[in-house]
Amino acid sequence: MTDIAINRRRFLQVASAVAAVSSALSAVPSVAGILTADNKMNALEQQVFQKMLDISLPTKGSSLVDPASLPVIPTIEQALLAGMAPHIRQGLRGGIVYFNDGPKAQYGKTFVQLSDAKAAEFVDAWTRSEAVPHRALAVGLKKLTVLAYWAIPNTWAPLGYDGPVTEKMGVKSLGNTPEPRD
Amino acid sequence: MSKNQLNIKTAADIAPGELNLSVDAVVVGSGAGGAINAYELAKAGKKVLVLEAGPYVPSDKFTEMLAVAMGTLYADEGGQANTAQDITVLQGRCVGGSTVVNAALCFRTPEHYLKIWREQFGLTELTQERMTGYFEKVERNLNIQPNKGYETSAGAELIKKGLKKLDIPEGNAKRNIRDCVLSGFCFSGCKSDRKQSMLVTYLPWACNHGAEIFADTRVTQVVAKNGQAKGVLAEVVDPKTGQVKTRVNVSAPLVVMAAGPIQTPIILQQSGLANSSGQVGKNFACHPTLSVTAMFDQKVDDFHGATHSLYVDTNILPEEGGWLQLNAVQEPVEASFQAEPGTGKAYVSYMEKYRNSMRLITLIHDKNVGEVKLVDGAKHIEYSVDDEDFENMKKGLKQNARILFAAGASYLYLPTYDRTLIESPEQVDSVIDGLKNGVAKYRYTSFHPQGTCRMGADPKTSVVSPSGETHDVKNLYVADASLLPTSIGYNPSETVYALASFIADKINGRIA
């Protein structure tokens, strides 16, 4: 268990905020916020997100694009973390430490030290947990990671999804609607 | 300035320092309520300034990628949520507001609620007869019409078959759209200007009559003296740095608040105004929604088409359960988090079947049990799904699941945090009966925040009078979804269009 003292209510908010903020979907460089030194990922956060990416999208043998060939982790940092409010970002740091330490009691290892199979087992167990912060962190960190992957247009072709259509199809704008006469 | 174009300034156009302006009316917010009032007031001869906190994104810059749109067009980059952070509360934050990113669905306010508003809140002028005139007007102006036969989607067609099998009547949605090209990108903004958002209608029309719009400009305070509105204080924020570039002091004898049901009460609270009732920010509701994901044996390809085209409202009124079913196309980014198939290969397999998936949304009429307030200078949306409302959500999810199976689905994912599968119609009741209300258990989204500056005749229990003017401050009006005394179960956009038009007529003295 982490020795970082986090008030339970505050922790719940921060842990759950990961889920909500990750729904921002703003995970592509073109919408990158202002990445300050305070918002950058530290080494542990990079490892946690990388592990989450490895276990969430094991694409070998599938039709999906290998996430190792895509800038998923930079997308999380540059788009999502860059736009995060300072107090949420600070709390997230504690939340990630707490999450990484989560498997210690059962497995004797941190999340990033687990095998991929055990790490996936741990994440699924936390999504079923009675503890709200466990559910919120497991779902939130996973959601954030996969969203950053799917926000990258290169990932769509294997799904058969063709993306934006208006320019491709030459659809003309109708422009502003004329003002009513009455 | 050419005719029928926006007369707009962004942070890039405004010099740093201080700016003092004097106008007849300042409108806070450029969404449905703000744009309609800007137009009606400008047309009546007033010098109008519209202040919009969000950016100006012209439609040719829309990307048709939800990931990008969330970052540029939505409040908190799409991450706005309740305090428990388990319900995402989506709102537009750009010139045109939520009308730019909504799905264009329009419903007239049901007489059921107008009656409640008249009888319980003293809004005696909101008769069906009077409101019909306003509905007809906005339907004309925004081209609100029932979907034509081709305005559908692959998923909607399957759902229709399911409804027919179950003998459930389908509702054909009305939308404010001209010549829809069925791209399916309503939530990312309509790149070809088919959707009749405020960006292409009331805002340029207001500018035809001299109105001016400032984007990137957030109002921090409404100024009042001796119980009379005097203007607003605002800040122009440079979107590149996030820093305040210019402080703006707007002197105006008329202030119309239309910043939306989250920001309007926050600004009033910051201003210490209009709250003798203690009701500013209270009575928040949001129409929580959950999406059931259906998996088919065959490809469905439910990602282009009309974003929404059909609905089921057999149980829309509270005594019937109070839920609404809505179909919606979805792109991979949305599909990637709507279901929990398990971590790893199970998830990869689920996404590989994206073309075989579709969703049906259940939306509930909820109680006004929430509150929006300032805590340590930050907005808080305190709201949890009420236990009784959750039981209604379960009933709605049962109907949703039965429709999807009747449509031909092989199995369904419920929108729970953990993996919850329904593998046959026979399992629907038992699986859904097992769901319990709680924090961080379900993948909720709200598209319809409302009700934080309740309209009513009694100054002790409401913020805004039946004319739209605040009880406490003369010439300070509210004209957005904050007004709604109760939640209405349907998408509230047409209700806001109509109420905003009604309030504009009140301000202009067209009606007593």
What is the token pair recorded at B292?
């059931």
Beta-carbon separation of A146 and B347 below 8 A: yes
Q: Residues of B with CB below 8 A from A16's CB?
A: 84-86, 439-440
Cα–Cα distance for residue pair A158/B349, rounded to 1 Å: 12
* A86: closest CA of chain B, how far (Å): 12
**What string of DSSP letters covers B382-415?**
E----HHHHHHHHHHHHHHHHHHHHTT-SEEE-S
List, for residues B85-121, the tens digit of each pLDDT value: 899 999 999 999 999 999 999 999 999 999 999 999 9
List, for residues B132-171, the tens digit of each pLDDT value: 999 999 999 999 999 999 999 999 999 999 999 999 999 9
The pLDDT-based confidence of A33 (bands split at 50, 70, 90) is low
Residue A84 confidence (pLDDT): 72
List, for residues B162-178, the tens digit of each pLDDT value: 999 999 999 999 999 99
* Chain mean pLDDT for chain B: 96
Residue A144 confidence (pLDDT): 87
Query: Do B5 and B30 form a contact (C-beta atoms < 8 A)?
Result: no
Crossing angle between the packed helical segments B111-121 and B128-141, to the nearest 10 degrees: 130
- Proportion of chain B above pLDDT 90, given as a percent: 94
Query: Which of A63, A160, A174 faces B192 most closely, judged by CB atoms?
Result: A174
Residue A1 confidence (pLDDT): 29
pLDDT of A27 higher than 60: no
pLDDT of A102 higher than 50: yes
Residue A35 confidence (pLDDT): 65
List, for residues B25-56, the tens digit of each pLDDT value: 999 999 999 999 999 999 999 999 999 999 99
Beta-carbon separation of B181 and A159 below 8 A: no
Beta-carbon separation of B191 and A59 below 8 A: no
Residue A13 confidence (pLDDT): 45
Comparing alpha-carbon positions, the chain B residue that sits nearest to A160 is B355
Cα–Cα distance for residue pair A161/A156, rounded to 1 Å: 5
Beta-carbon separation of A150 and B419 below 8 A: no
**Chain B 233-292, CB below 8 Å of chain A: which residues?**
240-242
Query: Which of B355, B440, B445 faces A16 most closely, judged by CB atoms?
Result: B440
User: Which run of H or E residues covers position B172?
Assistant: strand B171-172
Write A152-155 long-range contacts (CB < 8 A, 24+).
Answer: A152/A27, A152/A28, A152/A70, A152/A71, A152/A72, A152/A75, A153/B65, A154/A65, A154/A70, A155/A64, A155/A65, A155/A70, A155/B332
Residue B2 confidence (pLDDT): 58
User: Which run of H or E residues covers position B478?
Assistant: strand B476-478
Q: pTM score, two decimals?
A: 0.94
pLDDT of A80 higher than 90: no
Mean pLDDT of the B439-461 span: 97
Beta-carbon separation of B66 and A25 below 8 A: yes
* B76 touches A: beta carbon within 8 Å: yes
List, for residues B367-395, the tens digit of each pLDDT value: 999 999 999 888 899 999 999 999 999 99
* A159: closest CA of chain B, how far (Å): 6
Beta-carbon separation of A127 and B333 below 8 A: no
Comparing alpha-carbon positions, the chain B residue that sits nearest to A173 is B192
Mean pLDDT of the B215-241 span: 96
**Residue among B171, B214, B109, B85 at smallest CA distance from B450:** B109
Beta-carbon separation of A128 and B418 below 8 A: yes
Mean pLDDT of the B439-467 span: 97
Comparing alpha-carbon positions, the chain B residue that sits nearest to A27 is B67
* B344: closest CA of chain A, how far (Å): 5
* A14: closest CA of chain B, how far (Å): 8
Q: Which residues contact B118 (CB under 8 A, 6 or more apart)?
A: B124, B126, B127
* B377: closest CA of chain A, how far (Å): 12
List, for residues A104-140, the tens digit of each pLDDT value: 999 999 999 999 999 999 999 999 999 999 999 999 8
User: Which run of H or E residues covers position B129?
Assistant: helix B128-141
- Mutation pick from A59, A99, A168, A174 vs chain B, by most beta carbons of B within 10 Å, is A174
Mean pLDDT of the B347-353 span: 98
Beta-carbon separation of B179 and A164 below 8 A: no
Comparing alpha-carbon positions, the chain A residue that sits nearest to B417 is A127
Return the sign of the alpha-carbon dihedral for residues B392, B394, B398, B401. positive
Q: Which residues contact B384 (CB under 8 A, 6 or more apart)?
A: B82, B84, B369, B370, B439
Beta-carbon separation of B343 and A21 below 8 A: no
Q: Residues of B with CB below 8 A from A23's CB?
A: 78-79, 81, 88, 337, 445
Residue A34 confidence (pLDDT): 61
* B417: closest CA of chain A, how far (Å): 6
Give exposure, B25-58, as e/b (b: 16+ Cβ within 10 Å): bbbbbbbbbbbbbbbbbbbbebbbbbbbbbbbbe
Mean pLDDT of the B193-199 span: 98
* A43: closest CA of chain B, how far (Å): 24
* B332 touches A: beta carbon within 8 Å: yes
Beta-carbon separation of B348 and A165 below 8 A: no
Mean pLDDT of the B286-292 span: 98
Cα distance between the two ends of chain B? 36
- Proportion of chain B above pLDDT 70, given as a percent: 100
- Residues recorded for chain B: 512
List, for residues B393-419, the tens digit of each pLDDT value: 999 999 999 999 999 999 999 999 999
Q: Which residues contact B292 (CB under 8 A, 6 or more apart)?
A: B359, B360, B362, B397, B400, B401, B404, B412, B413, B414, B415
Residue B497 confidence (pLDDT): 98
How many A/B residue pairs have CB atoms within 8 Å?
A: 208
Beta-carbon separation of B343 and A142 below 8 A: yes
* A20: closest CA of chain B, how far (Å): 5
